[in-house]
């Protein structure tokens, strides 16, 4: 039941691969990077595919077929297995240029042999060979037909990666879903040796006999490979099929199969928490406790809790059992047409959900194919779409969505996208922009905007008058993955090094194309002069925490006074000596008492206080912030008067570090408003903090409002099933 692929990387390390024009990276290095990137991704994305590595042009020979001077200088460096960290390390340290040349066709035969020998008895969905070479060697073409035939027979697919593009000129993009080769990097055609020219012909020959004209799309340049994940597309796991029936009314049924075609790919592996010293996961225990909302935080056993839901101001107890029994029940998977509507009534910006499903007729069912084709073509010519009820299965929530017709050169399908429910929409009204005297742009301003747009078009006409998209987002690999894998790789190899900077090619891929940047210089300057733009300097209202939470915590001033009174009142208690630790009810009072009493050391008192502060902050609720602020104020005051700045300052510094982590930004803002900063030299001699540092300490990078990612209901989707496999 394996759905993985087996793939052999076959790299030319012969001496010609090390040749390069001055200032250019030799093909060897480029090819090595391609392999590195590929293996890196396989390792960190934990793909189940098995990978072998064959080098040719090596000084030595190590392969099963070598005999009587045949298949020399070809080394099977690694047999088929799942790539691991070791392989990454080996590539980094052991993959060196060789001093020989070997026939790439021979190497191909060795790879085929390897694949056939080592996949015997195992089941693989796809077999693929990736050849990286400069073709700069004499090849004997007499075996070509035999080779092509056995490739076909074994169902092995082939990809070529060359330092130069296949054709003399750039080829327009196929325009399909997958990334194809586009703008060439190296200079084509020129300076190729006769072997290379001959080699190119053979490559074309092989690829077209394997897959007709599509085959040529699997010939890439090294540079393309780096930036476009070309290798992966070949061995990509295909999405899970979702067989269902499209129904129109009660009697018209068409057998269909859906596939998730576009969906946001997320990082799969999460970080675990380990102890900072031992790096052991088991040393860290996580505990979740339930407690009442009272001052003592009375703990409640989990078994003593039940679940409820808010219904306006009421909380309605509603047990899980009842909920399950009473909840909406859907009657299983469906793809039922509710009606048909004009495509223009479905707004692109109202697409919901996180995926697009492509719907085909059931495989090998030609009647279904004809029926679905009739629907697709009818919709297409009427510019209409079907509105359908879609339910993935019995456990999942039903959706209403649109099925659009999609007719491509090679196939037809429906594209299904979820549409909003009434509850999902927000009707906001915005002030009008046009015809608003204050904002109406003048004629000259409009023409500046016009010129800017013209200069920044990302679609250009090439020599043949074909428009070429110079910035295809769907060809850019998600930089998040690239960056994560790069850092994991780096840290794995060099555990003590700081993280490396973002790789230059990745940075470049995220920037505006250079040609466009150059073109828009002047129009942009024009916009700059014609539109006055000014950052509004806000008078930052001096708000104190009391102002912010004042209204919710009764009269602020009264409360302040009360605290003070209590502190005074406390002095009497101190005399009685009945305060022995910092309690949670009135930590400030207790702390001040302890410090005065000197029954415990100042250090200990502070420790107890910070423990309480941490507890209060753990609630992350505004009511407790006031109390925490009061604690910190008292901590600071007492520290200044005892001339001990160190404890306070180090606590504040650690608190600051934890702010982003614990989401305490709001609390920190209150500290800023109250100017509760570090104790400086000016206040306590022993402090190592200058007045200026203290003033700057509170400043944080401005953080934007964070909106929690919407919690997705578990709809039991294809991916879950895949993860189970």
Partner 1 sequence: MAEWRQYYQNEDDEVEEDEEDSGGDYKISGRDSLVFLVDASKEMFIKSEDGETSNFDMTMQCVRSVYTSKIISSDKDLVALVFYGTEQSKNPRNSFKHVYVYHDLDSPGSQRVLDIDKLLGEKGAQFAEKTIGSGETSLGEALWCCSNLYSDIKLRLSHKRLMIFTCRDDPHGGDGAKDRQARTKAADLKETGVVIDLMHLTKPGGFDVSLFFCDIVSPPEDESELGLQIEPCRKLEDLQKRVRAKELKKRSQSRLTFSLGEGVNLAVGVYVLARTATKPSAVKLHRDTNEPVRTKTRYFHAHNGGILLPNDMKRAQVYGKKQIVMEKDEVDEIKKFDDPGLVLMGFKPMDRLKLHHHIRPALFIYPEEEQISGSSCVFTALLLKCSEKNVFALCRYIPRRNTPPRFVALVPQREELDQSQTQATPPGFNVIFLPFADDIRTLDAHVGPTASDEQVDKMKEIVHKLRFKYKSDSFENPVLQQHYRNLEALALNMLEPEPIEDLTMPKVQMMDARLGPLAQEFKDLVYPPDYNPEGKPAAKPESGGGAAEKKPKAEISEEELKNHVANSTLGKLTVPVLKDACKQFGIRTTGTKKQELIDALTMQLSK
Which string of x and - marks every residue 307-326 that binds partner 1 (by CB under 8 A)? xxxxxxxxxxxx----x--x
Name residues contacting partner 1, limited to 46-75 (CB under 8 A): 46, 48
The single residue among 141, 378, 571, 585 that binds partner 1, judged by CB under 8 A, is: 378
Name residues contacting partner 1, limited to 200-229 (CB under 8 A): 228-229
The interface region with partner 1, picked from 136-144, 335-343, 579-587, 625-633 by CB under 8 A, is 335-343
The single residue among 95, 456, 567, 672 that binds partner 1, judged by CB under 8 A, is: 456
The single residue among 517, 604, 650, 696 that binds partner 1, judged by CB under 8 A, is: 517
183 part of the interface to partner 1, by CB under 8 A: no
**Minimum CB distance to partner 1 smaller for 140 or for 250:** 250
- Residue 400 CA, chain-centre distance (Å), reads 28
d(CA 629, CA 169): 69
**Minimum CB distance to partner 1 smaller for 198 or for 584:** 584
Name residues contacting partner 1, limited to 353-372 (CB under 8 A): 353-356, 358, 360-371
Give the residue carrying structure tokens 């840290």: 491
The candidate with the shortest Cα–Cα distance to 16, out of 80, 68, 93, 73, is: 73
562 part of the interface to partner 1, by CB under 8 A: no
**Minimum CB distance to partner 1 smaller for 77 or for 126:** 126
The candidate with the shortest Cα–Cα distance to 674, out of 619, 719, 635, is: 635
Q: Hey, what are 721's tokens?
A: 């099933």
The interface region with partner 1, picked from 165-173, 184-192, 260-268, 691-699 by CB under 8 A, is 260-268
- Find out whether 418 and 390 touch, Cβ atoms under 8 Å: yes
d(CA 135, CA 205): 14
* CB 530, min distance to partner 1, A: 9
* Residues making up the chain, counted from first to last: 725
- Give kind and range of the element (H or E) at residue 359: strand 352-361
Name residues contacting partner 1, limited to 19-38 (CB under 8 A): none
Within 8 A by CB and 6+ apart from 632, the residues are 613, 652, 671, 676
413 part of the interface to partner 1, by CB under 8 A: yes
| Maximal CA-CA distance, the chain | 106
- Residue 112 CA, chain-centre distance (Å), reads 36
- Find out whether 536 and 559 touch, Cβ atoms under 8 Å: no
* CB 209, min distance to partner 1, A: 21
Q: Hey, what are 554's tokens?
A: 């009764």
**Minimum CB distance to partner 1 smaller for 190 or for 426:** 426
Which string of x and - marks every residue 102-141 that binds partner 1 (by CB under 8 A)? ---------------------x------------------
660 part of the interface to partner 1, by CB under 8 A: yes
Give the residue carrying structure tokens 């300490």: 697
By three-state DSSP, how is residue 315 classified?
strand
**Minimum CB distance to partner 1 smaller for 560 or for 596:** 560
* CB 572, min distance to partner 1, A: 32
CA angle 588, 592, 597 (to 5 degrees): 145
First to last CA, the chain: 9
- Find out whether 94 and 69 touch, Cβ atoms under 8 Å: no
261 part of the interface to partner 1, by CB under 8 A: yes
Q: Hey, what are 108's tokens?
A: 């191909």
Name residues contacting partner 1, limited to 291-310 (CB under 8 A): 291-293, 297, 300, 304-310
Q: Hey, what are 87's tokens?
A: 């392989």
- How far is the CA of 358 from the CAs of 55, 340, 475, in angstroms? 40, 18, 20
**Minimum CB distance to partner 1 smaller for 286 or for 598:** 286
By three-state DSSP, how is residue 710 classified?
coil
**Minimum CB distance to partner 1 smaller for 204 or for 530:** 530
The single residue among 143, 351, 596, 683 that binds partner 1, judged by CB under 8 A, is: 351
Q: Hey, what are 298's tokens?
A: 């009375």
Name residues contacting partner 1, limited to 464-503 (CB under 8 A): 469, 471, 473-481, 483-484, 487-488, 491-492, 495, 499, 502
* CB 707, min distance to partner 1, A: 5
**Minimum CB distance to partner 1 smaller for 67 or for 437:** 437
* CB 221, min distance to partner 1, A: 16
């Amino acid at each position: 039941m394996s759905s993985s692929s087996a793939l052999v990387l076959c790299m030319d390390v012969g001496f010609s691969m090390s040749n390069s024009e001055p200032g250019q990276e030799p093909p060897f290095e480029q090819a090595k990077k391609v392999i590195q990137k590929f293996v890196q991704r396989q390792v960190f994305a934990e793909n189940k595919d098995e990978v072998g590595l064959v080098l040719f042009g090596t000084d030595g020979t190590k392969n099963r077929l070598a005999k009587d001077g045949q298949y020399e200088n070809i080394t099977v460096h690694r047999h088929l297995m799942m790539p691991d960290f070791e392989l990454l390390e080996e590539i980094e340290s052991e993959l060196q240029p060789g001093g020989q040349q070997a026939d790439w066709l021979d190497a191909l035969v060795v790879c085929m042999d390897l694949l056939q020998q080592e996949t015997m008895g195992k089941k693989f969905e796809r077999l693929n060979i990736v050849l990286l070479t400069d073709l700069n060697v004499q090849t004997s073409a007499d075996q070509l037909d035999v080779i092509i035939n056995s490739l076909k027979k074994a169902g092995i697919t082939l990809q070529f990666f060359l330092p130069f593009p296949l054709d003399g000129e750039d080829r327009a993009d196929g325009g399909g879903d997958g990334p194809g080769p586009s703008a060439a990097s190296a200079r084509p055609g020129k300076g190729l040796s006769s072997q290379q020219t001959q080699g190119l012909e053979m490559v074309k020959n092989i690829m077209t006999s394997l897959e007709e004209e599509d085959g040529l799309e699997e010939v890439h340049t090294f540079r393309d490979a780096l930036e476009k994940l070309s290798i992966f597309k070949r061995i990509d796991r295909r999405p899970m099929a979702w067989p269902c029936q499209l129904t129109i009314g009660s009697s018209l049924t068409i057998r269909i199969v859906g596939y998730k075609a576009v969906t946001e790919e997320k990082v799969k592996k999460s970080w675990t928490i380990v102890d900072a010293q031992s790096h052991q996961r088991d040393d860290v225990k996580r505990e979740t406790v339930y407690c009442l909302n009272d001052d003592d935080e009375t703990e409640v056993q989990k078994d003593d809790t039940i679940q409820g839901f808010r219904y306006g101001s009421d909380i309605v107890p509603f047990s899980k059992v009842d909920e399950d029994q009473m909840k909406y029940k859907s009657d299983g998977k469906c793809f039922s047409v509710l009606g048909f509507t004009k495509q223009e009534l479905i707004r692109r910006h109202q697409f919901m959900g996180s995926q697009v499903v492509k719907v085909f007729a059931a495989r090998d069912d030609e009647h279904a194919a004809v029926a679905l084709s009739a629907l697709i073509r009818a919709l297409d010519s009427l510019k209409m779409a079907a509105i359908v009820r879609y339910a993935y299965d019995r456990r999942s929530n039903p959706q209403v969505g649109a099925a659009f017709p999609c007719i491509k050169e090679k196939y037809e399908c429906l594209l299904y996208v979820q549409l909003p429910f009434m509850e999902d929409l927000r009707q906001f009204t915005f002030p009008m922009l046009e015809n608003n005297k204050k904002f109406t742009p003048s004629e000259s301003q409009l023409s500046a905007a016009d010129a800017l747009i013209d200069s920044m078009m990302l679609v250009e006409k090439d020599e043949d008058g074909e428009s070429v998209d110079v910035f295809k987002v769907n060809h850019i690999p998600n930089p998040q993955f690239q960056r994560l894998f790069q850092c994991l790789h780096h840290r794995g190899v060099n555990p003590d090094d700081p993280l490396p900077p973002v790789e230059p090619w990745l940075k470049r891929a995220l920037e505006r194309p250079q040609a466009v940047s150059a073109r828009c210089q002047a129009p942009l300057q024009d916009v700059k002069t014609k539109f006055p733009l000014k950052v509004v300097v806000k008078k930052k209202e001096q708000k104190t925490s009391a102002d912010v939470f004042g209204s919710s915590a009764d009269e602020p001033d009264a409360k302040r006074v009360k605290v003070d009174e209590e502190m005074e009142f406390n002095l009497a208690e101190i005399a009685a000596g009945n305060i022995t630790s910092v309690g949670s009810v009135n930590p400030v009072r207790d702390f001040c008492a302890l410090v005065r009493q000197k029954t415990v050391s100042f250090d200990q008192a502070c420790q107890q206080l910070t423990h309480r502060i941490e507890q209060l902050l753990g609630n992350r609720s505004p009511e407790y912030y006031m109390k925490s602020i009061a604690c910190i104020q008292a901590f600071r005051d007492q520290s200044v008067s005892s001339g001990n700045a160190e404890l306070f300052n180090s606590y504040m510094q650690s608190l600051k570090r934890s702010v982003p982590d614990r989401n305490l930004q709001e609390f920190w803002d209150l500290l800023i408003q109250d100017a509760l900063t570090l104790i400086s030299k000016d206040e306590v001699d022993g402090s190592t903090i200058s007045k200026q540092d203290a003033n700057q300490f509170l400043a944080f990078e401005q953080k934007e409002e964070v909106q929690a990612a919407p919690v997705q209901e578990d709809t039991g989707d294809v991916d879950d099933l895949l993860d189970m496999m």
